[in-house]
Amino acid sequence: MRGVAPVLSAVCTALLVVTGCGTADAPEPDGEAASSPSSATPSATTTTSDLASPSAPADSGPVGGGEPSSSSSLEASAVPGARPAAELGLAGGWGPTQAELDRAARRARSLSLRELAGQVILARYDGTAPPSKLVRDLHLGGVVVFADNFVSTDQIKAANRALQRGVGRRWPVQIAVDQEGGIVQRIQGDATRFPTFMTAGAGDNAKVTEAAARAQGGELRHLGFTMDFAPVADVTSGRQDPTIGARSAGSYPGLVSRQVVAASAGFRKSGVAPVLKHFPGHGSVPADSHEELPVQRRTLAQLRRNDFVPFRNAVAQHASTVMTGHIDVRAIDPGVPSSLSRKVVTGTLRGELGFRGLVVTDALDMAAITDRYTSAQSAVRTLRAGADIVLMPPDPRAARDGIVAAVRGGQLSRTRVEQAAARQIALLDHNEEYGPGRPPGTSGRASFNLSQAAVTVVAGPCRGRLIGPSVLPVGDADAVAAFKAVAEQAGIGTAAGPTISFRGYGDPATTADIVVATDTPYVLGRSRGRVRVALYGATRGAMWALTDVLLGKSPAFGRLPVRVGGVARPGC
């Protein structure tokens, strides 16, 4: 059999991403000492026995399409002409060039085990100063910025720049943010505000959506961000969806697909990595994973017809990064959070959908995970499942030490961690080639265009002026303030006249002359008014789009991207 080993090795290398070869979790040398894994001592703070909780479900076991073992890696090294990236099972076609993948693989191999373990972690941090020491001490792959790290665009730009300079690394630090638009917008101040992603679904104009995402990504890049956890690729199930709502483009898989692909293209062209979330789909589960582990009871056939569709189409268009959600998908791996499930990540996302890029977990500090796993356990399980970035473990040091202990103890191969780190490094290198972005506050036209395409009149005249010289705005305070500022410039009085009631996120139904929904449009079905409008945002651009329709200067182009009971029509 020795005579055919090189041939089998070459085949294994070629098929590694799709089928997997060798033992799923064979141990690797730890890279820090000459001792073998069996003689290495686990971290003092995390023992290998800590990595398996009696209350947690067992690992799903190997499923085709994932982690190369140490033996398959060594065999690949013997193949004449084999490249470093190929040895790690890294295929191209999702962003980075072959040269970037090869360089990233070499860089990952050069890291000590502790450095390698830190490189796959993105952590949250406290305060507004650059977290340079945290990143250096743990050799973190990067950090995630939240509203409490933000004071102003000048401050965050300086902090992000100082972090990149203060780490002293040959590749960039990953600096990520949740900047979807609507109610999920961590960076505010003078940054351009964008409406909810459901706006894109209502407008259904791929060019406008791409331009808006490119503008939004450009502002983030100017501020030093490398990754945005957007767009949301979930297909919302409607009013019963407690978590995603207007963060989704809509409830029709084809519609959502078009907007997700367009938004992803826009972000990529800005040089900021888009992260499609939350595979296998969070829009059709009845609970919020921030608070508990949601259970997905749809059949596999139903998931393939609905929830998987935007992800599948985006993967076909070379999506670079996908986030996995914390969902108990009964049809695939009962009882195991999908972000920690090898059957979901490796078997379905990578195997069935053919995804080759970077897989990010949803935040591991959410109750769906912390109620069942420690930071060390969840970090190791996500890597075993096939994910590449361990996102926001509650204790990043414990997560790092858990990965180290798992490699030394043989529960996780070093090759799998190298593969994960190399994917992230390659994408960072690739996106470094893009320009400096655009200053904050320069994307108002793109935000307006997105809203203008989406304004949806579901009751009332479809043409002509809908109001007189003055109206009385009431309801959601932020929306009222935004409308008044624009109305004054547009020559509309706001002290008296027919009432225009703005209904924001979570607001109840109402009765008014004109009812405007600035988040999901479901409230319009239970409200009463001569005119009812779905606006999907309360930004300055959205208010300009609304006033143009009210004054008869522009038609209402949009159509409802979700089913709303109690409305007579989906749009004009």
Q: pLDDT tens digit string along 213-272?
A: 999 999 999 999 999 999 999 999 999 999 999 999 999 999 999 999 999 999 999 999
DSSP string, 245-270: GGGSS-S-HHHHHHHHHHHHHHHHHH
Query: Which residue has tokens 């986030």?
Result: 323
- From residue 548, alpha-carbon distances to 277, 466, 495, 551 in Å are 34, 10, 19, 5
Q: Would you call 464 exposed, middle or buried from its count of C-beta atoms within 10 A (0-12, 13-18, 19+)?
A: exposed
Task: Count Cβ neighbours within 10 Å for each residue of 109-140 and write b for 16 or more, e otherwise.
Answer: bebebbbbbbbbbbbbbeebebbbebbbebbb
User: Strand ranges (DSSP E) for 388-446?
Assistant: 390-391
Residues 452, 554: contact at Cβ < 8 Å?
yes
Distance CA 363, CA 184 (A): 15
Instruction: Give Cα 109 to chain centroid, integer Å.
Output: 27
Rg (CA), the chain: 25
Q: Beta strands 179-181 and 184-185: pairing type?
A: antiparallel
Q: Is 516 helix (H, G, I), strand (E, B) or coil?
A: strand
Strand order of the β-sheet with 456-459 is 456-459, 531-534, 514-517, 499-503, 472-475
Q: Classify residue 250 as left (phi > 0), alpha (psi -120 to 50) or beta.
A: left
pLDDT tens by residue, 101-119: 999 999 999 999 999 999 9
Residues 534, 563: contact at Cβ < 8 Å?
no
Q: Beta strands 456-459 and 358-361: pairing type?
A: unpaired
Residue-averaged pLDDT of the chain: 88
Non-local (6+) Cβ contacts of 9 within 8 A are 72, 75, 76, 78, 79
- Catalytic entry in 59, 234, 241, 362: 362
pLDDT tens by residue, 161-179: 999 999 989 999 999 999 9
Reported confidence tier of residue 70, pLDDT bands at 50, 70, 90: very low
pLDDT(190) > 60? yes
Reported confidence tier of residue 454, pLDDT bands at 50, 70, 90: very high
Half-sphere exposure at residue 144, Cβ-oriented, CA atoms within 13 angstroms: 24
Q: What is the pLDDT of residue 26?
A: 33
- What's this model's pTM, rounded to 2 decimal places? 0.87
Residue 452's DSSP bridge partners are none
Distance CA 313, CA 529 (A): 39
Distance CA 196, CA 181 (A): 5
The share of the chain scoring above pLDDT 70, in percent, equals: 85
Check if 241 is active-site.
no
The answer to which of 42-51, 131-140, 442-451, 463-472 has the lowest mean pLDDT is 42-51
pLDDT(475) > 90? yes
Cβ atoms within 10 Å, residue 79: 18
What 8-state DSSP symbol labels residue 440? T
Residue 501's DSSP bridge partners are 474, 515
Distance CA 58, CA 78 (A): 35
DSSP string, 112-132: -HHHHHHHTEEEE--SSS--H
Q: Which domains does the chain have, with CATH numbers?
A: 48-115+189-431 (3.20.20.300), 455-550 (no CATH)
Distance CA 329, CA 285 (A): 10
Residues 571, 457: contact at Cβ < 8 Å?
yes
What 8-state DSSP symbol labels residue 347? I
Residue type, position 572, single letter: C
- From residue 184, alpha-carbon distances to 177, 243, 247, 322, 370 in Å are 10, 12, 8, 18, 23
Residue 358 host element (H or E) = strand 358-361
Reported confidence tier of residue 40, pLDDT bands at 50, 70, 90: very low
Query: Which residue has tokens 């979790």?
Result: 25
Distance CA 359, CA 352 (A): 15
Residues 18, 64: contact at Cβ < 8 Å?
yes
Q: What is the pLDDT of residue 82?
A: 56
- From residue 390, alpha-carbon distances to 41, 140, 269, 301, 493 in Å are 23, 10, 26, 30, 52
